[in-house]
Amino acid sequence: MKQARKPKPLLWSLPWVGLLAAPGWANVYPLPADGSVVGADETMQTVYEDTLPDLAHRFSLGYYEIIRANPGVDVWLPGAGRKLVLPGRRILPAGPREGLVVNLPEHRLYYYPKPRRGEKPVVITYPVSIGKMDWRTPLGETRVIAKIKHPAWYPPESIRKEHAENGDPLPKVVGPGPDNPLGDFALRLAAGNGEYMLHGTNNPTAVGMAVTHGCIRMYPEDIDALFELVRVGTKVRIVNEPVKVAWVDGELLLEAHPPVSYIGRRDLLWWFGA
């Protein structure tokens, strides 16, 4: 495969080097002093065995993110020699640049680690899955209240009923292992009664979709890396910003995503310069 041009984040301290060495790309960028835009769009050429979900995973993109950036390309058989866009230029969500921020329409998480003395601030971003239509991920401010390695899953009665009606009955407890949809790491949030989590997955293809029962899913290697960085008590802000704007060098940039209520019905993603 022809290697895509790698984005050019600046690494300010050794702790971030390990993230970039993980499978896929962990997108680590210095926080812009003036403006809110990070990253760059890239291109690559496919080989015959590539699929868009595999490429999304490899380059730290979500399922719909790579599909919308490449309209008309077959998801499972893009073919050899196809030039693809890897969307990587992003406007940061509005608001405080601290802790964890999840923008639901974007299907993306932003982490603003507190810099140590002498370090320059960075932002780390990952694709995520969010709640589907009838199981909304809650908006607002919350915090991490627990870090759990190898979590067991206790599906609520409502979810067990849903699975039973679909001919896929669930046990009362799903222990750690390959059949556990929580993956190997979870960050429990204070939202609700503590039932919402940021966690891994045993189905990486679905990262970037609105498919969960309200939790936020990440690629296994992404939650592994984030788990090591985030402390209990870290602030979490879940926002709904389908449209983000920024001025850069006298140019107005607009980034838009399908509103949460329309995810699965409309495909709308563009960058506009004026």
Active centre residues (catalytic)? 199, 215
Token representation of residue 163: 């699975």
First-to-final CA distance of the chain: 35
b/e string for 242-264 if b means 16 or more Cβ within 10 A?
Answer: bebebeeeeeebebbbbebeebe
Token representation of residue 267: 């495909």
Scanning the chain, the segments in alpha helix (DSSP H) are 17-20, 52-58, 63-68, 157-165, 220-229
Nearest to 106 by CA among 81, 89, 118: 89
